[in-house]
């Protein structure tokens, strides 16, 4: 039945009869159509309900789009598309083709996924909000690589992939900050906080050489090993000058290496302790093959220690099981030299910063890994961190001294872990394959 005849049918039998006669000129009407009035009423009601429902759906879509546009004016138009469509769009810009380390900070209205008062694993000295910081603008910035976007920190996906695995962070206090951030991000939506606990019941302080947090409901552990140099520090050999109080044994990896060698994800860092104030000023010198090297400078010693570590990774770590990362040096924002340095509490990042400056630590790291040819991925957070003078603990800490080296939590270290997640997905090894 044509659309015109359908309308005639809905109007009534007489109308339909006329329409049929008009539709076939020169021919006699062979039959009469008698339509049941109740049937016509039912069809009319159905059409009416369909029109009303379509109107409500259109109104909802329009109002939802307007709300999202007003609520999240700085977000990408893809941010609120269902995941199946978003995944198809992201395939056009795969992570493998994306330089996630080169970009800029852009304003973002999103709120932090956790707060320090609700996460028991944030060290008191890094809990800036609890220590009196009133502004929150430092949390409203998003790292935007050029030409692509890094994935959200998908807690459900990460916990699913980590089932039965171990993640270990090895390094200095900056590494401990990243470890704390990683745990807080992963547990931020877990209703039962008691299912996440430190395995030995320890509180989180800078004096703990080893900490391990168990996610019992998801069957994985996130560990931290304190190792500021990644190589051993200890007593000097006999018959050395009196000024030598301790030594850094550049050819011997940290003694706890056997404990974290079998972890499934290893994240290393070192850098902030390779300074005059942390070495020579406190009577700490360098040792190689049980011999003191008094004339060895900091850069050469750092290079030697990294080579010892990278060689260990190459010879001892199974790359099909364990993914190894080195998180690069994060610049501090002290003013002045190390003897008379000052720290100013900032609330805005350095958005117009053009980094032509060389970072010796990063250059040495790249050269060593290339020379040793070890299966190590550099998590290059140096440039992105250099902009963020506003994210330091500064005077929002428990210490009597201001601090332009460490970082607030939540804050910048959360973005280091966003990059870590993206880097794991890029490697496409083991459980991290799509």
Q: Give the pLDDT means over successive 10-residue stretches in the chain (434 positions).
A: 50 46 44 55 73 71 55 41 44 72 92 89 92 94 90 96 98 97 97 95 90 98 98 95 97 96 97 94 96 96 98 96 95 74 87 66 94 96 93 88 91 97 91 85
Q: For residues 239 and 250, what is the distance between their CA atoms, to the nearest angstrom?
A: 19
Query: What six digits make up the tokens of 18?
Result: 């006329």
**Tokens 């039965």 -> residue:** 164
Which one is catalytic: 149, 173, 227, 383?
A: 173
* Catalytic residue status for 403: yes
pTM comes to 0.78
Which one is catalytic: 272, 333, 392, 406?
A: 406
The DSSP code for 213 is E
* Catalytic residue status for 173: yes
139-190 residue pLDDT tens: 999 999 988 889 999 999 999 999 999 999 999 999 999 999 999 999 999 9
Which one is catalytic: 264, 390, 403, 414?
A: 403
Buried b (16+ CB within 10 A) or exposed e, 21-58: eeeeeeeeeeeeeeeeeeeeeeeeeeeeeeeeeeeeee
Could you tell me whether strands 284-288 and 265-268 are parallel, antiparallel, or unpaired per DSSP bridges? unpaired
Residue 293 φ then ψ, to 5°: -110, 85
Alpha-carbon torsion, ordered 298, 300, 302, 307, to 10 deg: -170
105: nearest Cα among 146, 65, 72, 52:
146
């Amino acid at each position: 039945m044509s659309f015109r005849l359908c309308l005639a049918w809905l109007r009534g039998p007489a109308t339909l009869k006329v329409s049929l006669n008009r539709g076939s000129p020169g021919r006699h009407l062979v039959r009469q159509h008698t339509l049941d009035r109740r049937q016509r009423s039912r069809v009319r009601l159905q059409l009416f309900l369909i029109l009303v429902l379509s109107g409500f759906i259109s109104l909802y879509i329009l109002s939802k789009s307007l709300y999202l546009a007003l609520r999240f004016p700085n977000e990408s138009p893809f941010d609120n598309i269902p995941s199946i469509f978003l995944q198809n769009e992201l395939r056009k810009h795969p992570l493998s083709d994306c330089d996630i380390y080169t970009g800029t900070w852009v304003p973002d209205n999103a709120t932090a996924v956790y707060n320090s008062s609700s996460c028991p694993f944030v060290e008191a000295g890094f809990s800036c909000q609890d220590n009196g910081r009133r502004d929150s603008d430092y949390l409203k910035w998003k790292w935007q690589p050029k030409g692509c976007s890094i994935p959200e920190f998908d807690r459900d996906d990460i916990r699913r992939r980590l089932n039965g695995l171990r993640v270990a962070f090895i390094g200095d206090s900056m590494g401990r900050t990243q470890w704390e951030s990683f745990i807080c991000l992963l547990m931020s939506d877990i209703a039962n906080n008691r299912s996440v606990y430190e395995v030995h019941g320890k509180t989180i302080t800078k004096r703990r050489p080893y900490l391990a947090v168990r996610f019992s409901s998801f069957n994985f552990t996130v560990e931290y090993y304190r190792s500021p140099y990644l190589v051993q520090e200890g007593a000097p050999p006999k018959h050395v000058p009196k000024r030598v109080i301790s030594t850094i044994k550049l050819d011997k990896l940290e003694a706890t290496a056997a404990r974290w060698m079998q972890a499934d994800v290893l994240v290393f860092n070192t850098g902030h302790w390779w300074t005059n104030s942390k070495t020579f000023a406190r009577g700490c010198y360098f040792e190689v093959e049980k011999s003191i090297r008094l004339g060895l400078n900091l850069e050469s010693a750092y290079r030697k220690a990294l080579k010892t570590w990278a060689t260990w990774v190459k010879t001892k770590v199974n790359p099909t099981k364990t993914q190894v990362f080195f998180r690069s040096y994060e610049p501090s924002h002290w003013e002045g030299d190390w003897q008379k340095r000052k720290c100013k509490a900032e609330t805005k990042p350095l958005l117009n910063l053009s980094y032509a400056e060389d970072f010796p630590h990063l250059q040495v790291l790249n050269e060593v890994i290339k020379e040793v040819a070890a299966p190590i991925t550099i998590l290059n957070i140096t440039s992105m961190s250099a902009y963020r003078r506003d994210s330091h603990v500064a005077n929002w800490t428990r210490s009597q001294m201001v601090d332009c080296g460490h970082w607030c939590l939540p804050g910048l270290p959360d973005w280091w872990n966003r990059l870590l997640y993206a880097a794991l997905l890029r490697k496409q090894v083991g459980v991290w394959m799509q």
